[in-house]
Structure 1
Amino acid sequence: MKLIADSGSSKTEWCLVEGIYVIERAFTEGLNPFFQMRREISRSIRLQLPEVFFKKKVDQIYFYGAGCSSKEKKDVIKASLVTQFRAPAEVESDLLGAVRALFGNQPGIGCILGTGSNSCFYDGEKIVKNVAPLGYILGDEGSGAVLGKMFLSDCMKQIAPKDLCDMFYDVYKITPADIMENVYSKPFANRFLASFSFFLEKHLDHEYVYELVSRNFRNFFTRNIVHYDYKAYPIHFMGHVAYYYADILKEVASEFDVVVGQIEKSPMPGLVRYHTAHCRLD
């Protein structure tokens, strides 16, 4: 029995896999060792996962997560997993999870556009080049958090069109003071900011929104993709922002003579295929 988990900044997807079949699936909040201590992570796992996950005998855990880029951070997650499930755990970055899901054992340039953003060159086995994503304050171009950040800033500075701002404030029943508190005083500001990308997605026919999204994707290409040998390898995308804004993403990619390959909302189907491939050969 394998337990496969993929954790972004906003949510974690868990699958119990027996042979080549998913027998249980669940979602919990995102787990990120940059923002949470081991005790918080363990508590989240124990209280939010259905009890069936703890009753099954797990032989191996594969966990892919945002913030799992260093041994120190991986060990925080690993210790929580081993304590909760009493099984060996392999902890890797969400970026490696994305490219394993997208490419399997083939080389290519893999990108994440979700709550945050990231990219890398994957040689079919490991990540060999990674342009630093830098998070939503210094980087994360094209991500939901940066889209939300720019839109909220434009609303509060009265730069965004009045009709769109009025609609936004009416839908969310939120004030500028609420926004400031959530961004500067409460945890997980990136999740808060990214949540408003769903509002933008519903208004892509608005010229302002179209330009905002296009500009962000253009920044993602110029500040990330062009630093790889991007015309020699396929480029695939993972994440809800890439998935829901696919048409604009493809339009911007064409400006760089790039033909976008796969666009997947979640890596889990690909990760299940990756980790059960040997089962099909038995």
Structure 2
Amino acid sequence: MILIADSGSSKTDWRVIHRDGKISQHRGVGFNPYYMTSEEMAIQMRHDFLVNLESEIEEIYFYGAGCSAPDRKAEVTNALSTIFGQAKIHVDHDLAAAAHATCGHHAGIACILGTGSNSCDYDGKDILATRPAAGYILGDEGGGCYVGRKFLTDFIHEEMPENIREAAIERFHITQNIIQDHVYRQPFPSRYMASFCRFISENKADPYCYGLYYNAFKDFFAKHIFKYPDYQNKPANFVGSIAYYNSDILRKAASDSGINVNIIIEGPIAGLTLYHQEKL
């Protein structure tokens, strides 16, 4: 049996390819080795569905946020090996997942716009270049945390339309103190900030909410896509909930910026499943 995982900071999509060819699926919490130790990840995995499969999994392909550096890959490998001691484990960056799922064997630019953001220039086989991923405090342009942070900053400074502010208070019962407590004292502040994106998307007919996404996407293009050679002639592909559920704004911002958008999908797990099935 083969276990495939696509993991972000907020959630993980799992697929199991059984020996008879059947595929089972599960969605669980996210794992990021920059913010979690191998012990913490292993504890969470044991509370997930994985413990029921520990004796049957023979090979694991784990694609995850924060899994580019060797030491971070080792953290995830150690967490998985505590449960699947006999399995052959492969850990790779979520950019590889995005490239395989959207570009396949063709050249292109693969982008992630979920809770965070990232991108790479892909030649159809290997990742040629990436841009720095500075994380939710210093980067993540275009991602949910980035959009949510701007929304909350505008809320605190009363720099948003009054109708949107009132709707947010009614929906979330937020105050400046509550926001600051979640951001500075509670765990996983990036998830908290990104959690407001559903509300922003629901109200994107309002010019203010539309502009939050439009400007965030333009910021992402400036920090990422514009810096790849010959980007105007390469298809740009996007993976992630922020890109998928706001694809109309994303395509408009890209068109205004001279970027050719090809595929926009919510997650790469289906493409990854096909990718690894072909190797059987």
- TM-score tier (shorter): over 0.9
Q: What amino acid maps onto 2:202 in structure 1?
A: K
Q: Who is 1:201 aligned against? A: 201
- Aligned-pair identity (%): 39
Aligned-residue Cα RMSD (Å) equals: 1.4
Q: Who is 1:222 aligned against? A: 222
Distance 2:227 2:123 in 1: 16
Query: Retained in 2: the 8 A contact 1:235–1:261?
Result: yes
Query: Retained in 1: the 8 A contact 2:67–2:92?
Result: yes
The offset of 1:118, in angstroms, is 0.5
Distance 2:176 2:256 in 1: 36
Query: Retained in 2: the 8 A contact 1:16–1:53?
Result: no
Q: Who is 1:66 aligned against? A: 65
1:48 matched to 2:29? The reply is no
Query: Retained in 2: the 8 A contact 1:108–1:235?
Result: yes
Q: Who is 1:96 aligned against? A: 96
SS of 2:141's partner is: coil
Q: What amino acid maps onto 2:183 in structure 1?
A: V
Q: Who is 1:231 aligned against? A: 232
Instruction: Describe the superposition over 1:55-81 as per-residue Cα deviations: whole angstroms up to 9, x where unpaired.
Output: 5x1111000111111000000100111
Query: Retained in 2: the 8 A contact 1:20–1:276?
Result: no
Query: Retained in 2: the 8 A contact 1:114–1:241?
Result: yes
Q: Who is 2:262 aligned against? A: 261
The equivalences for 1:162-181 within 5 A come to 162-181=162-181
Query: Retained in 1: the 8 A contact 2:11–2:30?
Result: yes
Query: Retained in 1: the 8 A contact 2:234–2:260?
Result: no
SS of 2:101's partner is: helix
Query: Retained in 1: the 8 A contact 2:182–2:192?
Result: yes
The offset of 1:19, in angstroms, is 5.8
Segment of structure 1 superposing worse, 141-150 or 214-223: 214-223
Q: Who is 2:154 aligned against? A: 154
Segment of structure 1 superposing worse, 16-25 or 61-70: 16-25
Query: Retained in 2: the 8 A contact 1:41–1:77?
Result: yes
Query: Retained in 2: the 8 A contact 1:115–1:191?
Result: yes
SS of 1:231's partner is: helix
Segment of structure 1 superposing worse, 217-226 or 110-119: 217-226
Segment of structure 1 superposing worse, 109-118 or 23-32: 23-32
Instruction: Describe the superposition over 1:67-118 as per-residue Cα deviations: whole angstroms up to 9, x where unpaired.
Output: 1110000001001112201211000111111111111222210000000000
Distance 2:20 2:182 in 1: 42
Instruction: Describe the superposition over 1:220-258 as per-residue Cα deviations: whole angstroms up to 9, x where unpaired.
Output: 111211101212221110000000000010001111222
Q: Who is 1:210 aligned against? A: 210
The offset of 1:5, in angstroms, is 0.4
* Closer, same or farther: CA 50–64 of 1 in aligned 2, 3 Å: closer
Distance 1:202 1:113 in 2: 18
The offset of 1:187, in angstroms, is 1.6
Question: How many aligned residue pairs are there?
Answer: 278
SS of 1:148's partner is: helix
User: What are structure 2's unaligned runs of at least 5 residues?
Assistant: none
Distance 1:58 1:72 in 2: 24
SS of 2:164's partner is: helix
Segment of structure 1 superposing worse, 57-66 or 79-88: 79-88
Q: What amino acid maps onto 2:276 in structure 1?
A: H
Q: Who is 2:272 aligned against? A: 271
The offset of 1:138, in angstroms, is 1.4
Instruction: Describe the superposition over 1:181-219 as per-residue Cα deviations: whole angstroms up to 9, x where unpaired.
Output: 110111211111111011100001001111111111111
Query: Retained in 2: the 8 A contact 1:19–1:276?
Result: no
TM-score (norm 2): 0.96
Q: Who is 1:39 aligned against? A: 39
Query: Retained in 2: the 8 A contact 1:17–1:24?
Result: yes
